[in-house]
Amino acid sequence: MIRLHAATLKQSFSGVKNILSRNIVTLTDKITINGNTALHVAVGTTKNLDFLENMLSLATLPLDMQNSEGSTLLHVAAIVGNTEAAKLLVKKDSDLLSTMDNEGQTPLARALSNMHTDTYAYLLKLNKHLEQDIEAGHGSSWGLLVNIISSKDYGEAESFFRVNQHMPLTDIDTVLMAIAQNFPSKLNSWERMFVDSTCFYTFLGYQFEAMPKFVAAIKRKQEDYHLAKHLLRDLCNFIKSKSDSGSHHQYYNNAILEATRQNAEEVVKIVVSEFPDAISSTNEHGHNIIQYAVINRSEKVYNLLYQMSEHKNMYKTIKDSFGNNLLHLAARLAPPDKLNHISGAALQIQSELQWFKEVKGFVCALNIIQKNSDRETPQMVFTREHKDLVIEGEKWMKETAQSYTITAALITTIVFAAAITVPGGNKQDNGLPEFTSKSAFTVFAISDAISLFTSATSLLMFLSILTARFSEKDFLLKLPTKLMIGLTTLFISTTAMLVAFGATLYLMFCQNNPQILVPVAALTCLPIACFVTLQFPLIKDLMTSTYGHSIFGKKSSIPFY
C-alpha cells in the first residue's frame, strides 16, 4: 500500500501497473489513514490528464468508491478544484453528480463550500436539479452566488444570476452584503492613463510584449468593476420586481451600511439611485450613512455630501440618540482597521485631526461648542478619545528624531573636518589647496559645503522636534513639516557627503588610473539607493498626508441625491 501511494504521488503509471500486477493490492483498497484509494489520491494531487486517464482506465464501473468521510472521486475533485479530473469522472460515471458524502453534501455543494469557481461552474451546468441539490448540501441558491462573488469572479456571478431568475427573495440581502464587502475598486488615474496610452499605441500598431501580465491585470480590474456595477443594478431591479416598495429596505439596509463601512461609495450610489429611500438607512444605533461614514472614516462616502443638493444641510445639525452631532462623531477615535494602514502614530493622529477639521468646516458654528448627553463638546470628546494616541505619537516622533539626530550630527562633524583638511593638503608658499585647479576639487568643495549646510539644518529640525510641546494641533502641520524637512535635508547631506568622498578618492587615487572611477561611482550609489529604499516611503507619506491632494472634496459632478 505504501508503494502504491508513493507511485501515485509520483504520477508513475508504470509503477502503479507493476504494483497492481502482483495482486497484493487493488485500486479500490484504502491506502491512507482517511480511507482514500489510489484513485482518490490521484484525483486529489495531480492535474496530469494522461496520468488520470490511464489510472481511470484500470478502474471498473461504477466509480462509487468512498473514503472514510464518504467522499467519492468527484467529491475530491470538487474539494481540491480539479476541474479536468471532474470532467473525466463525469464522462465515465455521471451518477457521481448526485452521490452524497457522510454530511449529505454533493460534489456541487463541496465545490461551493471550497470556493472553486471553475469546478462548481462546470458541475452547475450538468446539474438538472440545482435547487434541491444545493439545499441537500445545506446551502441555498443565493449561497452559491455569495461564494462566486466572494471569489471575485463577477463574470461567472453575472452568468449565474442571469440563468437563475426563478430564485426567491429569501436571503438576497446576503448577496448584496457580499457585493458590499468585495466590490472592486475602479482604476486610479495612473492606471487609466496607462490603459489610454496602451490603446493609443495598439492603434498605431505597437505591441506591449514586455508587460502583458500588467496590462491584463489592469484590464481585468476595469472589467470586474463594470461587471460588479451591472450585477448590483440587476439585483436591485430583481428586488423591485419581486416585492412592493414598502419592504425594499429589509433587503438593502445592511448592505448599504456595510458598503459605507467598507468605503465602497459606488455601491452606496447605485443602491440610492435604485432605492431613493436608502439615503435614510440607519444602523442599530440610529446612525445614517453619512454619520456612519464619519465614524468609520470612509472619506469616499462622506465626499458624496459635495454632490448632494440642499438635502445635505440636514446633516449639519443632525444628532444621534446620545446628542452627538456630526462633529462629535468625527471626534471619536477611528476604528483600528482604519488607523493600522497609516504608518506611525504621528501620522495617525494627523489623519484624525484632518477629519476633525474637515467636519468642523461643514457643520454649523453652533455645533462646535454644542454638548452631547454626557455634557461634552466635540473638542472634549476628541481630547479624551485621542489621549493615548497623542502620547504614542509623541513617543514615535521623539524616537524617530533622536535616531536621526545622531546621524545628522555625525555627518556635520565629518564634513566640517573635511572642509578644513582638504584632500592633498595646502601649498606651503600661499596656503591654497594643492588641487585648486582640478575640476574634481570643485566638485568636492561644493558637495562638502552642501552637505555641511543641509546636515546642520537637519540637525536643527530634529532638535526642534525633541524640544516641541507636542500639543494635539502640532501634529496637524508643524511637527510633520519639521520631520519632513529634517529627513529631506538629511538625505541631501548624505548624498552630498558621498559625492564629496567620491571626488576625494578620484583626486587621490584615480588621476593616473581612471578605471577606478567606475567602481567608486557604483559604490557611492549603493548607500544612496539604500537610503532611498528605506526612508523615502516615510518622506513620501509625510509629504502626501501634509501637503498632498486632500482626500476630501467633490470628486464628481454627477448629482448624488
Question: What are 310-361's pLDDT values in tens digits?
Answer: 889 999 999 999 999 999 999 999 999 999 989 889 999 999 999 999 999 9
Please state which of the ranges 70-74, 187-191, 208-212 shows the lowest mean pLDDT.
Answer: 208-212
The single residue listed with the C-alpha cell 469522472 is 89
> How many beta carbons lie within 10 A of that of residue 143, not counting itself?
20
Q: What is the mean pLDDT of the chain?
A: 86
The residue count for the chain: 561
Distances (CA, A) of 160 to 111, 130, 141, 524: 15, 12, 10, 60
Domains defined along the chain, listed by start: 2-139 (1.25.40.20), 397-547 (no CATH)
> Does 190 have pLDDT greater than 60?
yes
Question: What are 287-318's pLDDT values in tens digits?
Answer: 999 999 999 999 999 999 999 988 899 999 99
CB–CB of 256/278 below 8 Å?
yes
The single residue listed with the C-alpha cell 502504491 is 4
pLDDT band at 115 (very low <50, low <70, confident <90, very high): confident
pLDDT at 137: 42
Question: What are 201-240's pLDDT values in tens digits?
Answer: 454 454 565 456 667 778 888 889 999 999 999 999 999 9
pTM of the model: 0.78
DSSP summary character for residue 344: S
Fill in the amino acid letter for 470.
F
Which grid coordinates belong to 280?
Answer: 435614510
DSSP string of 366-433, one letter each residue: HHHH---TTS--HHHHHHHHTHHHHHHHHHHHHHHHHHHHHHHHHHHHHHHHHHHS-TT-B-TTT--B
In the chain, % of residues over pLDDT 70: 90
> Does 163 have pLDDT greater than 80?
no
pLDDT band at 436 (very low <50, low <70, confident <90, very high): low
> Does 132 have pLDDT greater than 60?
no
pLDDT band at 162 (very low <50, low <70, confident <90, very high): confident
> Does 135 have pLDDT greater than 50?
no
CB–CB of 180/267 below 8 Å?
yes
Average pLDDT over residues 93-101: 88
pLDDT at 6: 86
> How many beta carbons lie within 10 A of that of residue 125, not counting itself?
9
Which grid coordinates belong to 158?
Answer: 453575472
d(CA 470, CA 271): 44
pLDDT at 138: 41
Which grid coordinates belong to 289?
Answer: 450613512
pLDDT at 212: 60
CB–CB of 547/350 below 8 Å?
no
Average pLDDT over residues 371-385: 95
Question: What are 4-14's pLDDT values in tens digits?
Answer: 888 888 888 88
